């Protein structure tokens, strides 16, 4: 094995999803780690994967295409793509999933740091695009995954894996990266019941839990898995009525329990699985009922998603034209939520440009949003400094609208062109409770600031142009305080205009203040007070 630059095999079992495969290949070919091979195993007799593969094969020799003349089924195809692998390390990628461009690089770095590892996995998103599924299925099960593999007691680790609800992604480690020699030790034919069990991913995960040394990249979200698509399987849950679904769950958990018991070599552990089976069924049934009831509280999110999907159709004409404004977000946390917040802000507004600055390109970005890669910003102070001194370099329009995952447009019809009469406008700040907060250098109270704001290109240029030093303000480096309080007097002396509260109260709301009572704002920041009624996009 070449430890300095080992070959990594990426295996893609695919079946009749050429559009999804095309998107995935485009992502995988951009991996920052270059010594890879991408293996496509087409299980469609009609060769639906051939065309998208050839498009990339013509310019990237790392791709290898194989075609099954007869349909082998999803599980056998999973095994087949592994058989073709030549690399020292291997990972499966479903044709409709997503990987960050530095997924392979960070996994290999982890293997290099600890030669004893068998598997590396990361924080991940459960991709849900159906509005009806929003809030029903678990959004992100990474923390649970982490805890299973680090239980000190080996038997307790196995039982914990069994007890976890399948809907919380306990089979997702299948899509981590493995040492090829380790993953080939798994008897896939035996585990899958001659390639027939739909829950083979869970049983592979159980094998990994029982036998592998696993490292978890909990601070990196590198994987996006589309939740609960059949991927060519015959579904285990065919019924639609509540009673039918309960029966489906009982039968599914019974088959899964028997499979656990069969795979587990310790007979005592197998017996425990069988004995606690009724408890597991009851627990998972209650869990599904709870999530179904909880999903009813996501009404605002479902309406927002419906609006997003409707207005993103080509035929939809947006009612507000802001060609002089760039919608921009600088996000190195909650990046997927930020994209949804941007898309929601764009539903009725045609911006001059839409821009995401982040250290990785998220799965839910659209063609309308330009992506520029920046270094990973790890603190609010560094983020603020970037916004003050570096954001200007990416902007070409006269203004920006800076948004976050928790600050975005909610009532586009409340737009007023007067907002562009100022170099800075944000939601009102509350009256200070002390004699130092929210004040400029003259000691006068400042009522308008906030990071979620409209800013002119000129005020973005000002800190560099006038060589304003990066100094803390009241013990912090928040960029809105830096501009709107600490340096407001200086900027005003140079002709910059800050919006008064009489205008800002219509622009945006963050904290409840007397001035905003009864007003529906153009945008919000956070969910205080009346803002609680607006969507949070928690499942992204």
- Name the strand (E) or helix (H) holding 524: strand 523-525
Residue from 300, 305, 302, 365 nearest 331 by CA: 365
> Measured between alpha carbons, how far is residue 309 from residues 363, 473, 525 in Å?
16, 42, 23
- What is the domain class of 301-533 according to CATH? alpha beta
How confident is the model at residue 148, as a pLDDT? 56
How far is 5 from 1, CA to CA, in rounded Å?
Answer: 9
How confident is the model at residue 131, as a pLDDT? 59
Give the number of other Cβ atoms within 10 Å of residue 136's Cβ: 20
How confident is the model at residue 1, as a pLDDT? 47
List of residues 6+ apart from 95 with CB closer than 8 A: 12, 13, 14, 15, 17, 20, 21, 24, 49
The residue to which tokens 């007097």 are assigned: 489
Residue from 153, 132, 178 nearest 298 by CA: 132
How confident is the model at residue 167, as a pLDDT? 80
DSSP letter string, 372-427: EE-----SHHHHHHHHHHTGGGG--SSEEEE-BTTEEES-GGG--GGGGGSSEE-P
CATH of domain 8-236: 3.90.550.10
Contact criterion met (CB below 8 Å) for 412 and 320: yes
Low-confidence residues of the chain: pLDDT under 50? 1, 136, 138, 141-143, 229-233
Helices (H), strands (E): how many in the chain? 19, 17
Residue from 35, 39, 12, 169 nearest 97 by CA: 12
Q: Which residues of 229-239 are buried (b: 16+ CB within 10 A; e: fewer)?
A: bebbeeebeee
Angle between helices 50-57 and 18-28 (to 10 degrees): 20
* Backbone CA torsion sign across 129, 42, 82, 21: negative
Q: Which residues of 196-211 are buried (b: 16+ CB within 10 A; e: fewer)?
A: ebbbbbbbbbbbbbbe
How confident is the model at residue 138, as a pLDDT? 45
List of residues 6+ apart from 475 with CB closer than 8 A: none
Q: In the chain, how long is the greatest CA-to-CA distance?
A: 80
List of residues 6+ apart from 203 with CB closer than 8 A: 191, 192, 197, 259, 260, 263
Which phi-psi region, left, alpha or beta, contains residue 454 (left: φ > 0; alpha: ψ -120 to 50)? beta
Residues of the chain within CATH 3.90.550.10 domain(s) are 8-236
**Joined tokens for residue 384:** 């603020």
Give the number of other Cβ atoms within 10 Å of residue 27's Cβ: 18
* Global confidence as pTM: 0.86
DSSP letter string, 253-291: HHHHHHHHHHH-S-HHHHHHHHHTHHHHHHHHHHHHHHH
Residues recorded for the chain: 540
């Amino acid at each position: 094995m070449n430890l300095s630059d080992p070959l990594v095999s990426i295996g893609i079992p695919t079946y009749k999803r050429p559009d999804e495969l095309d998107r995935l290949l485009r992502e995988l070919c951009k991996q920052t780690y270059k010594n890879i091979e991408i293996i496509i195993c087409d299980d469609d007799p009609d060769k639906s994967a051939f065309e998208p593969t050839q498009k990339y094969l013509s310019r990237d020799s790392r791709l290898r295409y194989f075609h099954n003349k007869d349909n082998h089924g999803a599980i056998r195809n999973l095994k087949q793509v592994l058989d073709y692998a030549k690399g020292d390390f291997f990972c499966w990628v479903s044709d409709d999933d997503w990987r960050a461009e530095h997924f392979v690089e960070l996994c290999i770095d982890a293997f290099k740091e600890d030669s004893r590892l068998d598997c590396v996995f990361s924080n991940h998103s459960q991709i849900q695009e159906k509005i009806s599924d929003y809030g029903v299925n678990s959004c992100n099960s990474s923390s649970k995954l982490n805890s299973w593999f680090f239980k000190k007691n080996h038997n307790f680790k196995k039982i914990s894996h069994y007890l976890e609800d399948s809907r919380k992604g306990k089979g997702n480690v299948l899509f981590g990266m493995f040492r090829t020699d380790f993953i080939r030790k798994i008897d896939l034919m035996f585990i899958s019941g001659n390639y027939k069990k739909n829950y083979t991913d869970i049983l592979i995960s159980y094998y990994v839990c029982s036998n592998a040394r696993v490292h978890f990249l909990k601070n990196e979200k590198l994987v996006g898995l589309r939740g609960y698509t059949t991927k060519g399987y015959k579904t285990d849950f065919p019924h639609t009525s509540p009673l039918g679904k309960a029966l489906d769950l009982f039968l599914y958990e019974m088959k899964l329990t028997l499979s656990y018991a069969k795979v587990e070599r310790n007979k005592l552990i197998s017996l425990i699985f069988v004995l606690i089976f009724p408890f597991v069924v009851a627990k998972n049934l209650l869990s599904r009922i709870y999530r179904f009831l909880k999903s009813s509280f996501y009404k605002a999110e479902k309406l927002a998603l419906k609006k997003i999907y409707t207005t993103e159709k080509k035929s939809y004409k947006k009612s507000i034209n802001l060609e002089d404004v760039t919608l921009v977000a600088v996000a190195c946390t909650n990046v997927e939520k930020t994209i949804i917040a941007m898309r929601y802000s764009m539903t009725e507004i045609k911006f001059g440009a839409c821009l995401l600055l982040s250290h990785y390109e998220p799965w839910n970005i659209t063609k309308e949003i330009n992506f520029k890669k920046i270094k990973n910003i790890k603190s609010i102070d560094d983020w603020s400094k970037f916004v003050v001194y570096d954001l200007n370099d990416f902007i070409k329009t006269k203004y920006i609208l800076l948004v976050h995952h928790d600050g975005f447009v909610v009532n586009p019809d409340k737009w007023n062109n007067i907002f562009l009469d100022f170099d800075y406008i944000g939601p009102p700040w509350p009256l200070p409770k002390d004699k130092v907060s929210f004040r400029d250098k003259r000691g006068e109270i400042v009522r308008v600031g906030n990071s979620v704001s409209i800013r002119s290109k000129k005020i973005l240029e000002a800190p560099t142009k006038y060589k304003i030093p990066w100094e803390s303000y009241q013990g912090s480096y928040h960029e809105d305080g830096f501009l709107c309080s600490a340096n407001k007097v200086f900027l005003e002396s140079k002709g910059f205009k800050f919006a008064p509260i009489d205008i800002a109260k219509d622009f945006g709301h963050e904290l409840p203040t007397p001035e905003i009572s009864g007003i529906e704002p153009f945008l919000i920041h956070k969910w205080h007070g009346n803002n609680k009624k607006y969507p949070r996009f928690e499942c992204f």
